[in-house]
Amino acid sequence: MKYLKFYLKDYKRDSILAPLFKMLEAMFDLLVPVVVAHIINVGIVRQDRGDILRCCGLLVLMAIVGLCCSFTAQYFAARAAIGSAAGLRHMLFSHIQRLGFSEMDTIGTSTLITRMTSDINQVQNGLNLFLRLFLRSPFIVFGAMVMAFTINVKIALIFVVTIPVLSVIIFGIMGITSPLYKKVQGKLDVITGNARENLSGVRVIRAFGKEQEETDHFSGANEELVKGQLFVGRLSALMNPLTYSAVNIGIIAILWAGSRSVESGVLMSGDIVALVNYMSQILVELVKLANLIVSISRAMASLGRVEQVLDTKTAMEFPEDTQNGEDAGCGDGEEAVRFEQVSLSYAQAGEESLSDISFSVKKGETVGIIGGTGSGKTSLVHLIPRFYDATSGEVSILGRPVKEWDKETLRRKVGIVMQRVQVFSGTIRSNLLMGNEGAGEEEMWQALRAAQAEEFVMKKSEGLDEPVEQGGRNLSGGQKQRLTIARALVRKPEILILDDSSSALDYATDAALRKALKDLPSNVTVFLVSQRTSSIRHADHILVLEDGKAAGWGTHEELLESCQIYREIYESQYGKGESAV
C-alpha cells in the first residue's frame, strides 16, 4: 500500500467525500422500512389516504436524494481510483525504465506486461469498490441491527446471532480464496508470455510448421489458468448460497417470533415487515460486502505483485555526476577501452559467460569480434556501455573505470546497435532523433548516407517524415538494420559498437558500410561484432572468442597463422586457399 498511498494523497478530498456520500445514501435506505411500517400501521389501518400519499411522496423524495448521493459518491470514487491507478502505472513504467538488464532478465517481460495492465486494473477496480462500499455496507448492517432493537429487543437478538454467522462465512471463504487469486495471476503471466512469444515468432513457427504444437502448448497453459479460475470461482460462489441460507433462516425466525408478538399485541404487522426489510437489507449488503472482499483480495494480490517490481532495486548504481565528464576523453595514442581480467556471470546462470578477458584498444582503432554462437560476443560488448557489470575484473573507457561514469555521459560517449534491431512507431525522423535530439536535417542525412540508408529513405514519398509502424513492420530487415546504424551514427559517439548489425545486408552494402565507417572521424573507436570474416578482416585488431574465453587476438593475417579457430571460421566461409573479396 505504500506506493498507492503516495498517489492517494493527491485525492484526499475525493477519498473522503465518496464514502461520506455513500453513508448519506445508506441513512435514507435505513429510514425506508420505518416509513413503510408507518404506512401499514397508521395509513392502512386508519384508511388515511392523505397520510399514505404523504409517506409515498417522502419515499420518492428519499429515493431521488439517495440516487443523487450515489452518483456523487461514484464520481469521487472513480476520480480517486482512476487517478491513483494512473499514477501507479506511471511509477511502475518509470521504474521499469530504470531497471538494469539483469533485473529485466530475472523478472521477465511477459510478467511486467501483466503487472502493468491486468494487475493495475484490478487495483483500480478494488479501490473504486472499497471507497464506495467499505463504510456503506458495515453501516447498513449495524444500522439495521440498531433499528431492529428500537422496534423489539427480543426479536433483534436474532440479528445478533445472524450477523456473526454471516461474518464467519464471508471471512472464512475470503481467507481461503485470497492466496489462490495470487496463483491465478501467476498463471496469467504464463499465458501472456506464451502469447507474446508466439506473436513475435509467428513467422518462424509457420516456417517450421509448428502451428499445432504451439496451439497445443497454449491450450495446455490456458487450461491450467481455466482450472485455477474455476476452482477459486467455485469457492467464491459458495458465499452467496451460504449467506442467503443464513439470512433466510433469520427471516423465518423473525416471522415465527413476530407472529406471536402480533397475536399478543406487542407488535403490529408493519413492525414485522420493517424487521424483515432490515434483514433483507443485511442480506443485500453482506452480499455486496462479500463481493467487495473478493475484489479487494484480488486487488491486494495484484498490488503485491506490482509492489514486488517496485521494490526490485537495480544492483547497478551510477554516480550522479562524473565532474568534467565532457573533458574525460583521452588524447592521441591513449587507451579508449581496456578490459582487465574481466569475467561475467548472468543471474541464475550456472557457468560464466565470459572468463578472464584482457585487452586494450586505442582511440580511433577498429576492433573486430568473432566467434561461434554462444561464445560471448554480445556479452562482451554489453559491458562497454555498462548494460551489465562484470562479475570480476575491471572495464575502463577513455582512461576511467566504467563504474565511475554517470549514466547520461556514458551513454552519450558510447553508441550501440543491438544484435536484435528495434525501431519504434513514429517516423524515420523521430527514430533518428532518438539518437540525438538536437540533430539537424543535414546531420541526419549524413548519418543515413554513412549507414547506406540514404537511397531507400529518399525513395520514400515523405522522406524523413515517412511513417514507421510499430516494430518497423513496414520496413525490411536490412532497412531496419541500416536505420538503427544511422540512429547510432547521428549520436556522434566516441565509441561505436555494431553488434552483428549487418547480418541482413548483402555483401556489397556491407562493404560500402565498412568503407563509410573508415571515413568516420579519427577519434571514433569502432567495435564490429560479426559472423563474417570479410566484415572484420581489415580491423586493426580481431578478438576471437570461444566459450567465453579469448582464443586469439591480432590482425587478420596474424590470426590465420596463429589461431586455429579463426582459420576454421575463415575456411568454412571461403574454403582453403581462397580469399575474401
Both 497 and 390 in one domain: the answer is yes
**CA-CA-CA-CA torsion sign (348, 354, 358, 360):** negative
pLDDT tens for 348-383 read 777 888 999 999 999 989 999 998 888 889 899 999
pLDDT tens for 257-293 read 888 888 777 778 888 888 888 888 887 887 787 778 7
Domain closes at, from 310, 339, 361? 310
Both 425 and 300 in one domain: the answer is no
Both 244 and 343 in one domain: the answer is no
Both 490 and 428 in one domain: the answer is yes
Predicted pLDDT at 330 = 44
CATH of the domain at 71: 1.20.1560.10
Question: Is residue 320 assigned to a domain?
Answer: no
Both 347 and 275 in one domain: the answer is no
Q: Say if residue 204 is exposed, middle or buried (CB neighbours under 10 Å; 0-12, 13-18, 19+).
A: exposed
Task: Say how many domains are in the chain.
Answer: 2
Domain closes at, from 310, 335, 351? 310
Predicted pLDDT at 327 = 47
pLDDT tier for residue 337 given thresholds of 50, 70 and 90: very high
Task: Please say if the pLDDT value at position 508 is more than 60.
Answer: yes
Question: Is residue 257 assigned to a domain?
Answer: yes
How many Cα atoms within 13 Å fall on the side-chain side of residue 319?
13
| DSSP-assigned beta bridge partners for residue 376 | none
How many Cα atoms within 13 Å fall on the side-chain side of residue 469?
4
Task: Please say if the pLDDT value at position 328 is more than 60.
Answer: no
What is the average per-residue pLDDT within 470-498? 89
Both 472 and 566 in one domain: the answer is yes
% of the chain with per-residue pLDDT over 70: 96
Both 297 and 415 in one domain: the answer is no
What is the average per-residue pLDDT within 301-330? 73
Task: For residue 79, give its domain range.
Answer: 2-310
CATH of the domain at 429: 3.40.50.300
Question: Is residue 251 assigned to a domain?
Answer: yes
Predicted pLDDT at 322 = 54
pLDDT tier for residue 64 given thresholds of 50, 70 and 90: very high
Residues 568 and 533: their CA atoms lie apart, in Å, by: 11
Question: Is residue 488 assigned to a domain?
Answer: yes
Average per-residue pLDDT for the chain: 85
Question: Is residue 368 assigned to a domain?
Answer: yes
List the strands of the sheet with 354-362, edge to edge.
Answer: 354-362, 335-344, 392-397, 400-401
Both 246 and 374 in one domain: the answer is no
Predicted pLDDT at 533 = 86
CA distances from 125 to 14, 68, 93 (A): 16, 22, 20
Both 247 and 335 in one domain: the answer is no
Between 31-45, 65-79, 164-178, 394-408, the lowest mean confidence (pLDDT) is in 164-178
Name which of 483, 496, 378, 492 is nearest 424 in CA terms.
483
Both 150 and 193 in one domain: the answer is yes
Question: Is residue 316 assigned to a domain?
Answer: no
Task: Please say if the pLDDT value at position 321 is more than 80.
Answer: no
Predicted pLDDT at 203 = 85
Task: Please say if the pLDDT value at position 294 is more than 80.
Answer: no
CA geometry: angle at 151 spanning 150 and 157, to 5°?
85
What is the average per-residue pLDDT within 201-216? 88
Predicted pLDDT at 232 = 86
Predicted pLDDT at 42 = 82
How many Cα atoms within 13 Å fall on the side-chain side of residue 527?
33
Both 215 and 282 in one domain: the answer is yes
Question: Is residue 318 assigned to a domain?
Answer: no
Predicted pLDDT at 71 = 94
Domain closes at, from 281, 310, 339? 310
Name which of 502, 551, 507 is nearest 530 in CA terms.
502
Predicted pLDDT at 496 = 92
pLDDT tens for 396-422 read 999 899 989 988 889 889 999 888 888
Question: Is residue 581 assigned to a domain?
Answer: no
Name which of 185, 181, 220 is nearest 110 in CA terms.
185
Both 549 and 463 in one domain: the answer is yes
